[in-house]
């Protein structure tokens, strides 16, 4: 059944105009003024609403084992949250178990992602660089549609790769057109600071942040950038949270190196003052990198403004605060008495578009085009999904969001769709709300009503990045 969206204000990364849009067979098939309607077409009036491409969130950890706990959102629950927030494409990090091959890790990930309700792709986390791993990396790019890899410079003994392995794996990625993603924090140096803090009896959640200083993000980012240059590989630095790491990215870009920057709403909108909350409450904000001193977020805003930060993703890595009803395995309570056992991460998939619209467009004067770019188009291009995803054009997937730019609402965990029992942004008033969401032409969200289907999401095999240097 075809659908005609009438009179919406269509916004892409480059255009902003009022027109009608015809969806058929899951694709956008016509855009124009006063399009004629046949009898079998559902007509929807979108006057006063923005018509945006479905959001593309390229940084999530759904149903994933982390060094301290299991993330609480399954692909089912996490992608329902995504959909209600206007995100129709998720690229999730597949974490293989230690000792498991990358291909086996991907097979397990595919089993878990079957419940996805929006379209999903996978990045592969690489833990070492033995011959089998390097061979699997090539197979992943050529055969499995996994065209990006992530390396952790933090979490020694769990996820961290050493510099030699990083260089070797980056060489393979670079030679096969894959993008290298890096978590930039110096894991060994952090280990020393954590050991000293615990020895002093400094066990409260705020010591998580104090043992992961900004300088160690800057150091790791510079190191990763230098090694990527040596390896001839393009680099994408995830979740930038400091001027130090951003400076490394900006310097490299100025030299002409292919380095891209991502940040997340929490680093733009929150700061380390959250760690002063009483009792264990501060654990809600324990994530890596941590929230930073109040002088850092304005620097990230400047990085976003000048284009050195191209993507805003969520790093949705959700846990519960309370033990009940989902059990200790998913709970921040694991870290009572030792900050280094608090699961690292927080929910955020559902609020990204509205938070960014409110903070960037309404408060910081960002254009709607750039808003669409950082939330959908740039990530789709960088991660080999464009033009099927990330834009509104004839032939593109009909992943669309009808968005009311004037509606005010308040973030409440009690109303969100993640299985996490809290929100980093609880009580925040936002301007701009998702009204309807289409996934390949199917309306999956209509106001507060869920019309999607568990398993209705498809796997997205990805190609090389289409973003020029």
Residue ranges in contact with Zn ion by CB under 5 A: 183, 315
Give the one entry of Zn ion, ligand DUC, none that residue 344 binds, where binding means its C-beta sits below a cut-off of 5 to 8 angstroms depending on kind: ligand DUC
Residue 345 lies near ligand DUC (rule: CB under 6 A): yes
Q: Which of 278, 197, 326, 315 lies closest to 334 in space, CA to CA?
A: 326
| Shortest Å distance, C-beta 348 to ligand DUC | 11
d(CA 259, CA 108): 31
Instruction: Choose between 136 and 185: whose C-beta lies nearer to Zn ion.
Output: 185
Alpha helices (H) along 346-409: 352-356, 368-372, 378-382
Q: Which of residues 215-244 bind ligand DUC (CB under 6 A)?
A: 238-239
Q: How many residues bind ligand DUC (CB under 6 A)?
A: 9
Residue 106 or 318: the one with the smaller Cβ distance to ligand DUC is 318
> Least distance from C-beta 302 to Zn ion, angstroms?
22
423 binds ligand DUC (CB under 6 A): no
Residues between 241 and 300 that touch ligand DUC (CB under 6 A): 288
Distances, alpha carbon 23 to alpha carbons 98, 395, 398, 436, in Å? 45, 10, 6, 14
| Least separation in angstroms between CB 182 and Zn ion | 9
Q: How far is CA 409 from CA 45, 85, 296, 366, in A?
A: 22, 13, 27, 20
Residue 242 contact, options ligand DUC, Zn ion, none, Cβ 5-8 Å cut-off depending on partner type = none
CB nearer to ligand DUC: give 262 or 399: 262
| First-last CA distance in the chain | 41
Query: How many other CB atoms are there within 10 angstroms of residue 141's CB atom?
Result: 24
The DSSP annotation for 153-182 comes to SS-TTTTB--HHHHHHHHHHHHHTTPEEEE
Number of residues that this document lists for the chain: 469
Pick between residue 61 and residue 292 the one whose CB is nearest to ligand DUC: 61
**Smallest gap from residue 129 Cβ to ligand DUC (A):** 20
Q: Least separation, in Å, of the C-beta of 317 and ligand DUC?
A: 4
Pick 183 or 419: Cβ nearer Zn ion: 183
Q: From the list ligand DUC, Zn ion, none, which binds 44 (C-beta under 5 to 8 Å, kind-based)?
A: none
Residue number with CB closer to ligand DUC (171 or 239): 239
Interface residue with ligand DUC among 136, 315, 351, 397 (CB under 6 A) is 315
Of these partners, Zn ion, ligand DUC, none, which one is at the site of residue 421 (CB under 5 to 8 Å by kind)?
none
Give me 397's structure tokens: 């997937």
Distance CA 112, CA 62 (A): 9
Distance of CA 190 to the CA centre of its chain: 24
Residue 289 beta carbon to ligand DUC: minimum distance, rounded to whole angstroms: 8
φ, ψ of residue 230 to 5 degrees: the values are -60, -40
Smallest gap from Cβ 63 to ligand DUC, in A, equals 14
CB of 71 to ligand DUC, least distance (A): 9
Residue 352 found at the interface with ligand DUC (CB under 6 A): no
Q: Which residues have C-beta within 8 Å of that of residue 218, sequence separation ≥ 6?
A: 242, 244, 245, 247, 248
**Which of 238, 401 has the CB closer to ligand DUC?**
238
In the complex, what is the shortest distance from the CB of residue 144 to Zn ion, in angstroms, rounded to a whole number? 21
**Minimal CB distance residue for Zn ion:** 183
β-bridge pairing 429-439 and 400-410: antiparallel
User: What DSSP state is assigned to residue 352?
Assistant: H
Min. distance of Cβ 34 from ligand DUC in angstroms?
Answer: 47
SS3 207: helix
Interaction of residue 78 with ligand DUC, rule CB under 6 A: no
Phi, psi of 6 (to 5 degrees): -95, 135
Burial 209-224 (b: 16+ CB within 10 A, else e): bbbbbbebbbbbbbbb
Region 31-70 residues binding ligand DUC, contact defined as CB under 6 A? 61
Tell me the closest approach of the beta carbon of residue 57 to ligand DUC, in angstroms. Answer: 13
Position with the least CB separation from ligand DUC: 288
> Per CB under 6 A, does 344 bind ligand DUC?
yes
The answer to whether the Cα torsion of 233, 263, 463, 162 is positive or negative is positive
User: Is 418 near ligand DUC (CB under 6 A)?
Assistant: no
From candidates 123, 183, 212, 462, binder to ligand DUC by CB under 6 A: 183
Question: Cβ distance 248 to 222 under 8 Å?
Answer: yes
Supply 128's token pair.
Answer: 């070492």
Partner whose binding site includes residue 258, from Zn ion, ligand DUC, none (CB under 5 to 8 Å by kind) = none
Report the interface residues with ligand DUC, using CB under 6 A: 61, 183, 238-239, 288, 315, 317, 344-345
């Amino acid at each position: 059944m075809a659908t005609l969206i009438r009179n919406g204000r269509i916004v892409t990364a480059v255009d902003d105009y009022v027109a009608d849009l015809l969806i058929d067979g899951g694709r956008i098939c016509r855009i124009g003024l006063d399009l004629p309607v046949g009898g079998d077409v559902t007509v929807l009036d979108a006057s006063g609403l923005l018509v945006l491409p479905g959001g593309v969130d390229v940084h999530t950890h759904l149903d994933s084992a982390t060094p301290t706990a299991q993330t609480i959102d399954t692909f089912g629950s996490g992608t329902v949250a995504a959909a209600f927030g206007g995100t129709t494409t998720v690229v999730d990090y597949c974490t293989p178990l230690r000792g498991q091959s990358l291909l086996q890790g991907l097979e397990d990930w595919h089993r878990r992602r079957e419940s996805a309700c929006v379209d999903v792709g996978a990045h592969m986390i690489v833990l070492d660089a033995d011959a089998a791993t390097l061979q699997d990396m090539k197979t992943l790019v050529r055969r499995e549609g996994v065209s990006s890899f992530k390396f952790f410079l933090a979490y020694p003994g769990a996820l961290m790769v050493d510099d030699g392995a990083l260089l070797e794996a980056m060489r393979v990625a670079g030679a096969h057109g894959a993008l290298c993603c890096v978590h930039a924090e110096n894991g060994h140096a952090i280990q020393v600071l954590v050991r000293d803090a615990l020895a002093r009896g400094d066990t409260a959640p705020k010591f998580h942040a104090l043992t992961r200083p900004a300088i160690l993000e800057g150091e790791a980012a510079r190191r990763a950038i230098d090694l990527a240059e040596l390896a001839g590989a393009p680099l994408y630095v995830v979740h930038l949270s400091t001027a130090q790491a951003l400076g490394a990215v900006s310097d490299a870009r100025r030299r002409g190196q292919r380095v891209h920057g991502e940040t997340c709403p929490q680093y733009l909108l929150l700061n380390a003052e959250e760690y002063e909350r009483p009792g264990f409450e501060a654990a809600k904000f324990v994530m890596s990198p941590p929230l930073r001193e109040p002088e850092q977020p304005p620097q990230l805003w400047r990085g976003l403004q000048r284009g050195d930060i191209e993507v805003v993703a969520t790093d949705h890595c959700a846990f519960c605060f309370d033990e009940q009803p989902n059990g200790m395995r998913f709970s921040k309570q694991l870290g009572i008495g030792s900050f280094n056992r608090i699961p690292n991460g927080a929910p955020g998939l559902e609020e990204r578009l509205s938070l960014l619209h409110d903070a960037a467009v309404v408060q910081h004067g960002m254009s709607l085009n750039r808003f669409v770019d950082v939330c959908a188009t740039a990530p789709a291009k960088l991660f080999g999904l464009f033009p099927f995803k990330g834009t509104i054009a004839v032939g593109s997937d009909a992943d669309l969001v009808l968005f009311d730019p004037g509606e005010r609402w308040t973030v409440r965990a009690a109303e969100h769709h993640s299985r996490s029992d809290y929100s980093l942004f609880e009580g925040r008033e936002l301007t701009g709300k998702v009204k309807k969401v289409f996934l390949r032409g199917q309306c999956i969200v209509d106001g507060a009503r869920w019309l999607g289907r568990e398993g209705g999401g498809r796997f997205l095999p990805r190609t090389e990045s289409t973003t020029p240097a």
